[in-house]
Amino acid sequence: MSQLPNVIQLNSEQTSLIIDCEGKTPSVLYWGKSLSAASSVSMLRSLATRQEVKCAVVVEAPISLSPLSGEGFTGAPGIEISNDNSAWSLGGALISIKQQNAQSVEFVCVDNVRQIEITHKLHLDKQTNVLTASTAITNRTTAPLNVTWCAAPTIPLADNINKILSFEGRWSNEFLLNKVDLFLGSFLRENRKGKTSHDNFPGVVLYDEKTDEHNGDCYGFHLGWSGNHRTRVEHLPEGRNYVQLGELLMPGELILQANESYQSPNLYASFSDKGISGLSQNYHHFVRQNLIRPEVKNKPRPVHFNTWEGLYFDHDIETLKNLAKQVSELGIERFVLDDGWFKGRRGDAAGLGDWYVDKDIYPEGLGPLIEYVNSLGLEFGLWFEPEMVNPDSDLFRNHPDWVLATEGNEQLEFRNQLVLDLTNKEVTDYLFKVIDDILSEHPQIKYIKWDNNRDYNHPGNHLGKPAIHLQTLAFYQLIDNLKTKHPQVEIESCASGGGRIDYGVLSRTDRVWTSDSNDALDRLSIQRGCSIFFPSEIMGAHVGPRDCHITGRHISIEMRAAVAFFGHMGIEMDPRELTSEEKQALSEIISLHKKHRCLIHSGNLVRLNENPFSVDFGIVSEDRNHALFAYNSVNEVNRTNPGKYRFVGLAIDKVYQLNLIWPTDLKEYSPSVLRQIEGQVFTGEVLQQFGMQLPALFPQTSLIFELKAV
């Protein structure tokens, strides 16, 4: 066998990743800002020398790509397995390194005693600085191998990283950010709800205490998986830190027979020395280049009207046509018929699973409504919740054994529905057929809103086995099969809002429903948190009713519209409630959104640093010739005047014309800076470093500024 290299280096435009291969198993020696050719690996090794300390091992166990019990590692192993022999004490040695190109490498390690093979694949995207990494385990014995845990590659952290930014939340208030000091021991987040979840997003950001949105070192980690998951950040007693993410497997869920393999979900990791907004830009560029389909990327995102908060289950063809006519006059481009169109669906207690058009409401089927909507120049979309079933449905009455359940345990009630067992091929064959029948009968349907509205509390399949791993793969396969048959149909991932948003589902869908809350104040924090990993064009953002149906808050049309303006924009309300002034405002901002959506959906997001009084951010074009910035006042300031607004991210050597483009009619107590700056030109240097004095406005006021280089 030829001599293996003792080091592998992958480089992107801004980062270097160096894998040390001198030990028995590979480990990350360095990952961070790009190193010059003058900085050698031998220098790093010398500077990293650690000594034997009192009452400790002579040489510390490595934090390898999969740190192992067999290596003597006393932190969390990257792999936990068992069989009737000694698989639990897996060790292994590196036997193969395959490097197909300068950006990708594959390491193969084998434990010859236990006949188990471990493969790590790493790809560092040159342009976006995002590392995609996975771990695979193969059973080379003839005996079954029980896999309890197989994390994606474990990444050690630089010792200056001492802060954790995690994601929390609940239904209708997802992606809330929580800052935690790194501490001795493990920061551990686990999800057992069967889908990505509202409260436990599989991602974390690690950063230096001096880091903010625009400056400093930070690392992002996201597991692209839509099932159960675990995130661990650990500070070991000897001072080393590492991050480990993977699929959370249930007892006995994954057993590998002879020569079978399991591959972890992909870990998507990135480093930035330009603050957390710089990290987000890495991820946004990666999503745009690698996850969004070209045919979707190259088409302007249509402005939506969704019927849900306008009508709920109260469907009537003439009413729907009337609503379609009204919203088309506002500039809407896609009409999405939400829940309530199928057999027996007069509320949320019946009908799920019976995916046939309700002839009591639609005696001629959906055709006449679709044709009318299309005649107005609007695309047509349709809501499904394929993975769920109501007990009060023909499907459940005929197939009560088609649901996830555990023997002897009573099902917990949850929104009057149960979860279908997608690991049963009869179930997925049925679901494919009923959805395919509708799409084939109506090829004018260009869009599906794919919902999922309950947790998986009893996740046992028809074989009595834990099902989440196979259930998630079957969900992916069902989507893939439908997309293959109907490539023209875009699919939105919705799970009571933001309960299933991750790169695993995004690689198969085209949009996510960010949250069921259309409350503009809630949405500011939700969209800010979501924007850490996800760009604006995939985040569904709707102008909701005057009085929010979830929070009860009354928020002006101007602010509701300004917040929705910066996502994949839509409206979700009964347009019959609108006053003439509100209709005018909506028409204006929809027109404004269409004018600027190319920039909104392709530019670099720059979040301004957090403060308790406003949520502020900008979108800057790649060439920095054009930008939009938003100021969203949420609380009254505690001084007579607000502070300054700094337009971060502009080119300091360019000159910009500054204009307030929203709202079009702002009423002020007295003349402010807004009268002085309109249409004037300023250097990027003063706009960014000196800043603009903010006007004193009522709380819950949004301003949108446009800057053009002149």
- The three state secondary structure string of 72-103 is CCCCCCCEEEECCCCHHHCCCEEEEEEEEECC
Model confidence at 138: pLDDT above 70: yes
Among 387, 452, 453, 388, residue whose Cα is nearest residue 418: 388
User: What pLDDT score was predicted for residue 526?
Assistant: 98
First to last CA, the chain: 63
Q: What is the mean pLDDT of residues 43-47?
A: 95
Type of residue found at 699: P
Which DSSP state fits 495?
Answer: B
The ranges assigned to domains in the chain are 7-290, 294-513, 606-709
User: What pLDDT score was predicted for residue 100?
Assistant: 85
CA angle in degrees (0–180, nearest 5) for 665-667-670: 135
* pLDDT tens track for 545-559: 999 999 999 999 999
Instruction: Find residue 274's DSSP bridge partners.
Output: 216
Mean pLDDT over all residues of the chain? 97
The single residue of 111, 510, 516, 522 carrying the catalytic annotation is 516
Q: What is the mean pLDDT of residues 24-39?
A: 96
Beta pairing class for 203-207 and 163-170: antiparallel
**Residue 494, φ and ψ in degrees, nearest 5:** -130, 135
451 noted as active-site residue: yes
Contact 542, 570 (CB under 8 A): yes
Indicate the pLDDT class of residue 220, thresholds 50, 70 and 90.
very high
**Percentage of residues of the chain with pLDDT beyond 70:** 100
User: What pLDDT score was predicted for residue 2?
Assistant: 65
Alpha helices in 421-506 (DSSP H): 425-441, 468-485, 503-506
Neighbours of 364 (CB within 10 A): 10
Q: 606-709 — its CATH code? A: 2.60.40.1180
Specify the DSSP element, H or E, that contains 47: helix 41-47
* pLDDT tens track for 148-163: 999 999 999 999 999 9
Type of residue found at 343: K
Ordered DSSP codes for 490-545: EEEE-BTTBTS-SHHHHTT-SEEE--S---HHHHHHHHHHHTTTS-GGGEEEEE--
Indicate the pLDDT class of residue 669, thresholds 50, 70 and 90.
confident
Sign of the CA dihedral running 183, 195, 222, 168: negative
> Residue 250 CA to chain centroid, in angstroms?
24
What does the block give as tokens for 385? 């919740």
Alpha helices in 174-316 (DSSP H): 275-290, 294-297, 308-311
Type of residue found at 192: R
CATH 3.30.1330.10 fits 7-290, yes or no: no
User: What pLDDT score was predicted for residue 1?
Assistant: 47
d(CA 408, CA 353): 24
User: What pLDDT score was predicted for residue 480?
Assistant: 98
Contact 549, 606 (CB under 8 A): no
Among 191, 259, 256, 227, residue whose Cα is nearest residue 470: 227
User: What pLDDT score was predicted for residue 667?
Assistant: 85
User: What pLDDT score was predicted for residue 153?
Assistant: 98
Q: What is the mean pLDDT of residues 400-405?
A: 98
The single residue of 217, 339, 358, 451 carrying the catalytic annotation is 451
- In the three-class reduction of DSSP (H, G, I as helix; E, B as strand; rest coil), residue 30 is classed as strand
Q: What is the mean pLDDT of residues 592-618?
A: 97
> Residue 482 CA to chain centroid, in angstroms?
22
Neighbours of 332 (CB within 10 A): 25
Contact 229, 246 (CB under 8 A): yes
d(CA 394, CA 391): 8
* pLDDT tens track for 419-429: 999 999 999 99
* pLDDT tens track for 273-296: 999 999 999 999 999 999 999 999
d(CA 290, CA 623): 21
d(CA 577, CA 296): 33
- Tokens 């009207």 — which residue? 305
> Residue 172 CA to chain centroid, in angstroms?
15
Indicate the pLDDT class of residue 532, thresholds 50, 70 and 90.
very high
Contact 95, 110 (CB under 8 A): yes
Instruction: Find residue 15's DSSP bridge partners.
Output: 33
Type of residue found at 29: L
d(CA 43, CA 39): 7
d(CA 188, CA 178): 14
Q: Enter the pTM of the model.
A: 0.98
d(CA 475, CA 431): 11
Q: CATH assignment of 294-513, given 3.20.20.70, 3.40.470.10, 1.10.1060.10, 3.40.190.10?
A: 3.20.20.70
The four Cα atoms 220, 221, 224, 225 give a dihedral, to 10 degrees, of: -140
What does the block give as tokens for 654? 């360019």
- Tallying the residues shown for the chain, one arrives at 710
- In the three-class reduction of DSSP (H, G, I as helix; E, B as strand; rest coil), residue 694 is classed as coil
d(CA 214, CA 82): 46
